[in-house]
Amino acid sequence: MVAACVVAILALRASAQQESWQVVRADYGWGQQRSDVTDVLRDLLARGGVNGRVAVNNQTMGGDPAVGKDKILRVFARNYRGEERQFDFYEGGLLDAAMFQNPPARDWDDRPRDSDRGRDRDDRVRGADHDRERESLEILYAFYGVQRRTVNVTDLLRSRVRGGSLFLHVDNNTMGLDPAVGADKVLIVVYRFESREQAVAAGEGSTLSLP
């Protein structure tokens, strides 16, 4: 039985990759209590997730739309033939980023690129003790906004790190501006701590505490 399940999962992943599924929309929640997480998920997938995976939980999805309920991430995707399919991922699970192929977000050209981050990391490694760097909090990238109306706040968050930690109230004042007037915005941060890359999402009005 276990072997059959493993084979089925592997077959699903292989099929998804071969079909080149692209995310049409995604929502997270339970019953009618659901939040649209399309843009959040697309960006995490475009970045390859964290170590190739996206954790399905309230932090990465930007909040808890149904407190006390076992939530589900529903991903509606389309292949090159125009066929649509729904994928369900339960809260606490992991989504394999390789299952979905998504183009990089078009409106976030000012975010640090992988090559830039690689050069920055090389420079830091050459000028710092390796053990200390592995133990420190490193903000890889961060953005604030909603529905493609976002602002890059990577450098801002890096400047707020104190003593290897970050404690920040998320609002337009601390982020420096309002990129989507009238909308409920989300701060998404991908960071490294103790050699592990992780992602977290904090809604406007909440408090972010890392690690």
- The residue among 4, 7, 73 whose CA lies nearest residue 34 is 73
Rounded CA gap, 171 and 186, in Å? 9
Convert the pLDDT of each residue in 168-195 to its tens digit.
999 999 998 898 888 888 888 888 888 7
Convert the pLDDT of each residue in 83-126 to its tens digit.
888 999 999 888 888 888 655 444 444 445 555 555 555 555 55
Which spans in the chain are helix H? 2-19, 38-46, 114-127, 130-135, 154-160, 172-175
* List of E strands, 45-136: 53-55, 72-78, 84-90, 94-96
Token pair 């104190």 is found at 162
**Burial letters 124-141, b for 16+ CB under 10 A, else e:** eeeeeeeeeeeebbbbbb
- The residue among 49, 42, 55, 58 whose CA lies nearest residue 93 is 55
- The residue among 192, 201, 65, 25 whose CA lies nearest residue 120 is 192
Convert the pLDDT of each residue in 16-69 to its tens digit.
445 678 899 999 999 989 988 888 888 788 777 777 888 898 878 877 888 889
The Cα angle at residue 119 between residues 116 and 123, in degrees rounded to 5: 140
Cβ(46)–Cβ(105) below 8 Å? yes
